[in-house]
C-alpha cells in the first residue's frame, strides 16, 4: 500500500518533500504532479524502479522517457545543447515543453531511444515538481501517467489512488489537474522541429 501525501500546490510542505525524496532514493516509484498532469517518477539509475514503471504503463523498450530537471544547468549535463539553443530554452523554461536532444554519456543507455540515442528533457512549471527536484539534487526519470487503454494523462489524484495504491510507493496529491499535454520540440537534428503542439506556445521554436 502506497503512502498518500496532500501537498500544497503553491507552498509545498518541506517535510513532505523531504519524505518523498527519501522514498525515491530508497528505490521507490512515486506519482507526482507536473504542469502537464500527473507523472510516474523514479531515481535515474534505478533499474528495478524503471521496470516497475514499465509494468504499470505496459511500455516496451522503444518508449521515450523524459528527464525532469530543476534548471538548465542540470539539463546541459545530460543533453548536447549549443549556445543559441541554450538562450532559446532560457527564455521558455520552466514551461509546458518537452525537449528532445541527443543524450550525453551521463544518460543511462536504457533511457535513450535505442536508434536515435535521444532523450526527452523538461523543466516543469509546477512548484511541487520543482521542490522535489531541488531537494533530490539530480534529474528525475519520468513518464506521463497514462494508464493502459487511455490516451490522456491522469489528472485526479483520488482516482489514481483507487487504481494504483498497491503498485507505487507514494502518491503526491497536488490537486486536480486538467488535461494539458506538453508541446514537444525536437532539437536532435540540425533543424528545430515542433513534433506536437500542446500547452506550451510553439511560436518561439517555429
- List, for residues 111-147, the tens digit of each pLDDT value: 888 888 899 999 999 999 999 999 999 999 999 999 9
- List, for residues 34-92, the tens digit of each pLDDT value: 999 999 999 999 999 999 999 999 998 778 889 999 999 998 899 989 889 999 999 99
CA-to-CA dists, residue 128 to 44, 67, 115, 172, 192, angstroms = 19, 16, 34, 9, 30
Judged by phi (left if over 0) then psi (alpha if -120 to 50, else beta), residue 122 lies in beta
Q: Which pLDDT does position 161 carry in this prediction?
A: 97
Claim: this prediction has a pTM higher than 0.75? yes
31 strand-pairing partners: 40, 171
Q: Which three cell numbers stand for residue 77?
A: 549535463
Confidence at 168, pLDDT banded by 50, 70, 90: very high
Q: Which pLDDT does position 28 carry in this prediction?
A: 98
Every domain of the chain and the residues it spans: 3-196
Q: Which pLDDT does position 194 carry in this prediction?
A: 97
179 has pLDDT over 80: no
Just give the CATH number of 3-196. 3.90.870.10
CA-based angle 71:72:78, to the nearest 5?
105
19 has pLDDT over 90: yes
Amino acid at each position: 500500500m502506497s503512502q498518500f501525501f496532500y501537498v500544497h500546490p503553491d507552498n509545498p510542505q518541506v517535510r513532505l518533500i523531504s519524505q518523498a525524496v527519501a522514498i525515491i532514493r530508497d528505490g521507490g516509484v512515486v506519482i507526482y504532479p507536473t504542469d502537464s498532469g500527473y507523472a510516474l517518477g523514479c531515481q535515474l539509475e534505478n533499474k528495478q524502479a524503471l521496470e516497475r514503471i514499465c509494468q504499470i504503463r505496459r511500455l516496451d523498450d522503444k518508449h521515450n522517457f523524459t528527464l525532469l530537471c530543476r534548471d538548465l544547468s542540470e539539463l546541459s549535463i545530460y543533453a548536447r545543447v549549443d549556445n543559441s539553443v541554450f538562450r532559446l530554452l532560457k527564455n521558455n523554461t520552466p514551461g509546458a515543453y518537452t525537449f528532445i536532444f541527443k543524450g550525453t554519456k551521463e544518460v543511462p543507455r536504457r533511457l535513450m531511444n535505442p536508434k536515435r540515442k535521444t532523450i526527452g528533457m523538461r523543466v516543469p512549471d509546477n512548484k511541487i515538481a520543482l521542490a522535489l527536484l531541488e531537494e533530490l539534487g539530480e534529474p528525475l526519470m519520468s513518464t506521463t501517467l497514462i494508464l493502459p487503454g487511455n490516451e490522456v494523462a491522469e489528472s485526479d489524484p483520488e482516482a489514481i489512488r483507487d487504481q494504483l495504491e498497491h503498485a507505487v510507493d507514494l502518491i503526491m496529491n497536488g490537486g486536480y489537474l486538467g488535461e494539458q499535454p506538453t508541446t514537444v520540440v525536437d532539437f536532435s537534428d540540425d533543424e528545430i522541429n515542433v513534433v506536437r503542439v500542446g500547452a506550451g506556445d510553439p511560436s518561439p521554436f517555429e
